[in-house]
Amino acid sequence: MMILPGNTLGMLGGGQLGRMFTIAARNMGYEVMVLDPDTSSPAGELASQHICAEYTDQAALDTLSQHCAAITTEFENIPASILEQLTGHCPVRPGARAVTITQDRIHEKTFLQDKGFPTAPFAVIRSEADLSTGLQALTSPTILKVSRFGYDGKGQVAVTSEADLQAAWQSLDGNECVLEQRMPLDVEISVVLARSTTGETRPFPVAENSHVNGILDVSIVPARVDTALCDKAIKMAIDIAEALDYVGVMAVEFFVSKGELLVNEIAPRPHNSGHYTLDATVTSQFEQQVRAVCGLPLGDTRLLSPVVMVNMLGDLWHGGQPPQWDKLLSHDNVKLHLYGKHQARVGRKMGHFNVLASDVAAALQLAEDIRQSLQAP
Ligand code: ATP
Ligand code: MG
């Protein structure tokens, strides 16, 4: 059954991904109810209604259940029990199972391994004894990653020796972790795709991603990667979506290591590396999320122009002052997206811009020039 404009959609999480979903949904004539404990969340400020409460607040969940025709999330750390409870009232897309698997690195990596998808070699760390067995099973160097609640490279520690590993595990409070072999990377790519209620899948073009300090910095589309490899990545991402019986928008991050694809991680939501779709594809990942969640046919994902997306972190704000936007806005082929965050902090994602140009090289050059000019205090 299609959920048509005029209905109210629920969004669990009020960050920038929720905000861009809210914009797309409201643009299409839906009302959006956002649940987020923050009084001034990026999505809450644009929602039809912001329920300012914890994700476990029963009264808040009751309000959502009463008003929403469907519920989705922008944030993988919603407890699965909450999603299950809401499922009793209206469709929750993606469903609890897909979120449960992808919100926990141990579940996620085990799922990938069981289904035969290639990953970097890893070991599960649940106890002190797992540390040395884990390290022995892998080739140094390795990275210890906390199993839950990590993002933007947080909750990750480089490890080369057993002494390192002890200290690293203690610094992560002895929480459950995955110890992962550090792979030599040719390049990183990602596939954002949607899967509909009817099982139709629509991938967006593959993005080539570069990270700085574990945080996505730039996405380049089309990726400067062999077409056959891109096709293989798309096929793998679709197979993963099917194995999860996924409904909604999701992303798969890949390492390309010595010419081979390895799945890094799955995000059960739109993804930072898909922000280029806001300006460069027929349908954006957020409109696609609305379509998938509402049981509508999916939109065309065709690329309209080569594009480079650049993330803007709080580091660009000096003494609380924003960068000089005129230096960016003076270019007629550059699109600015700000998330309405009131406080700039180092490493905090404040916005991004998309550069559209006749080819990727030209877009990259302009993106770098603009970044330089924004960095000047
Ligand atoms: P996000 O959720 O923002 O993608 P995250 O905190 O979940 O980030 P990962 O995707 O696990 O982190 O890692 C962030 C980046 O660190 C990767 O994109 C990659 O550049 C580097 N990295 C992580 N694991 C490995 C590895 N095993 N080998 C080589 N590089 C790695
Ligand atoms: Mg990642």
Domain residue ranges in the chain:
8-92, 121-181, 187-375
Domains 8-92 and 121-181 share a fold: no
Fold held by 121-181? Dna Ligase; domain 1 (3.30.1490)
Query: What pLDDT does 377 receive?
Result: 73
Query: What pLDDT does 246 receive?
Result: 98
- The whole-angstrom separation of Cα 34 and Cα 64 is 9
| Position in ligand 1 atom list of the atom nearest CA 215 | 3
User: Nearest ligand, CA of residue 189?
Assistant: 1
Cβ of 180 closer than 6 Å to ligand 1, yes or no, is yes
User: Nearest ligand, CA of residue 272?
Assistant: 1
Q: Dig out the tokens for 118 from the structure.
A: 């290639």
Cβ of 151 closer than 6 Å to ligand 1, yes or no, is yes
User: Nearest ligand, CA of residue 139?
Assistant: 1
Cβ of 217 closer than 6 Å to ligand 1, yes or no, is no
Between the CA of 273 and the centroid of ligand 2 the distance, in Å, is 10
Between the CA of 89 and the centroid of ligand 1 the distance, in Å, is 36
pLDDT tens for the chain, 377 residues long, are 899 999 999 999 999 999 999 999 999 999 999 999 999 999 999 999 999 999 999 999 999 999 999 999 999 899 999 999 999 999 999 999 999 999 999 999 999 999 999 999 999 999 999 999 999 999 999 999 999 988 888 899 999 888 899 999 999 999 999 999 999 999 999 999 999 999 999 999 999 999 999 999 999 999 999 999 999 999 999 999 999 999 999 999 999 999 999 999 999 999 999 999 999 999 999 999 999 999 999 999 999 999 999 999 999 999 889 999 999 999 999 999 999 999 999 999 999 999 999 999 999 999 999 999 999 87
Between the CA of 213 and the centroid of ligand 1 the distance, in Å, is 9
Between the CA of 29 and the centroid of ligand 1 the distance, in Å, is 37
Cβ of 183 closer than 6 Å to ligand 1, yes or no, is yes
Between the CA of 117 and the centroid of ligand 2 the distance, in Å, is 17
| Position in ligand 1 atom list of the atom nearest CA 216 | 3
User: Nearest ligand, CA of residue 268?
Assistant: 1
Protein residue whose Cα sits closest to atom 25 of ligand 1: 182
Query: What pLDDT does 71 receive?
Result: 98
Q: Give the residue among 145, 181, 140 at the shortest CA–CA distance from 161.
A: 140
Between the CA of 301 and the centroid of ligand 2 the distance, in Å, is 23
Burial of 148 (0-12, 13-18, 19+ CB in 10 A): middle
Between the CA of 344 and the centroid of ligand 1 the distance, in Å, is 23
Cβ of 268 closer than 6 Å to ligand 1, yes or no, is no
Cβ of 189 closer than 6 Å to ligand 1, yes or no, is no
At position 184, the amino acid (one-letter code) is P
3-state secondary structure the chain: CCCCECEEEEEECCCHHHHHHHHHHHHCCCEEEEECCCCCCCCHHHCCEEECCCCCCHHHHHHHHHHCCEEEECCCCCCHHHHHHHHCCCCECCCHHHHHHHCEHHHHHHHHHHCCCCECCEEEECCHHHHHHHHHHCCCCEEEEECECCCCCCCEEEECCHHHHHHHHHHCCCCCEEEEECCCCCEEEEEEEEECCCCCEEECCCEEEEEECCEEEEEEECCCCCHHHHHHHHHHHHHHHHHCCCCEEEEEEEEEECCEEEEEEEECCCCHHHCCHHHHECCCHHHHHHHHHCCCCCCCCCECCCEEEEEEEHHHCECCECCCCHHHHCCCCEEEEECCCCCCCCCCEEEEEEEECCCHHHHHHHHHHHHHHHHCC
The pairing of beta strand 207-212 with beta strand 215-221: antiparallel
> CA distances (Å), 70 to each of 30, 82, 92, in order?
11, 14, 6
Q: Which residue has the tokens 């005029």?
A: 6
Region 8-92: CATH code: 3.40.50.20
Protein residue whose Cα sits closest to atom 21 of ligand 1: 214
Cβ of 143 closer than 6 Å to ligand 1, yes or no, is yes
The pairing of beta strand 31-35 with beta strand 49-51: parallel
Between the CA of 60 and the centroid of ligand 2 the distance, in Å, is 31
User: Nearest ligand, CA of residue 214?
Assistant: 1
Q: CA torsion, points 291, 37, 268, 33, in degrees to nearest 10?
A: -10
Query: What pLDDT does 6 receive?
Result: 98
Q: Dig out the tokens for 281 from the structure.
A: 């594809």
How far is CA 232 from its chain centroid?
Answer: 21
> CA distances (Å), 181 to each of 21, 135, 262, in order?
35, 9, 12
Fold held by 187-375? D-amino Acid Aminotransferase; Chain A, domain 1 (3.30.470)
